[in-house]
Amino acid sequence: MNHPEIIVVGSTNMDMVVKADHIPVPGETVIAGSFFMNPGGKGANQAVAIARLGGSVAFVSKLGNDVFGKQSSQLFDEEGIDTRFLLSDPEFPSGVALITVDKEGENSIVVAAGANANLFADDLKDALNALKKAQLILMQLEIPMETVRKTAEFARANGIKVILNPAPFSESLSKDVLKHIDVITPNQTEAEMLSGVKITTMEDAEKAARIIHDMGIPDVIITMGPEGAVLFSGGVVTRIPATRVTAVDTTAAGDVFNGALAVALSEARTLEAAVAFACDAAAISVTRMGAQSSIPYRNEMIVRMIK
């Protein structure tokens, strides 16, 4: 088998999605319009995005020995993802996410980690040693922080670039992890938590990006939803606008962004061009319902005539 250019280390979930008029407040019951299940999990979504957008990707994850785990594994094979290093947990079930989507396309998500919480650093030894010729490792924070730290250390020692999507944000994200990260991609909320800057404008995002950069991370990309993204690299701030679309569901938009970013960087695009490509892929995804069901294919990437 050819060596994949990108390794995704992360979570796999089954998403249970309810479409409702609005997201309920505590104590409120809302009658929903529709319900469906869709494969998800930040790691899985990003791996699928990479595969659909033309990248060569291996996925390292831990699934439950249950129907959700078996279904997810089969789907990864169908997407052309290298699944040699998927693990099965004999004790814990596959992760699940309960998602409510309102009429504006915004969502509220609760995740039960299941087997994802048991993806330990020792589980990754064989995979990382076999995949050390990869260009990039992409991670998120739905797996244990120690696993993220040790994977990032391995990557740095072997000259592999690390992209960290710090989602969902964790207070345990320390300097010991950040010092091994090459590119970090927080959204507006995560950037606020990392930097301590309240972000309401693009100027605020630029300030936050500089602070995060000063934590030792060379390249900072703050995603700003429909406003696009703020990139801080080489001492220069660049704003990359998003393509205007009508959003129906923002679930997995950040995952699509990160997967697309990894693909573009693996193709030796400039960071600015890679962020523009990622913004376009995310824009397509929010016009569709679901997580993996919303992820575009490479031949759909004509928003800015990027192919």
> Is 100:107 a contact under the CB 8 Å cutoff?
yes
Give me the catalytic one of 89, 219, 255, 280: 255
Q: State the Cα–Cα distance between residues 229 and 85, nearest whole angstrom.
A: 33
Catalytic: 15? no
> Is 215:178 a contact under the CB 8 Å cutoff?
yes
Contacts from 78-82 at CB under 8 Å and sequence distance 24+? 79/47, 79/48, 79/51, 79/52, 80/51, 81/47, 81/48, 81/51, 81/57, 82/1, 82/4, 82/56, 82/57, 82/58
Order of strands, sheet of 229-233, starting from the edge strand that comes earlier in the sequence = 86-89, 57-64, 6-9, 136-139, 161-164, 183-184, 219-223, 229-233, 236-240
Catalytic residues: 255
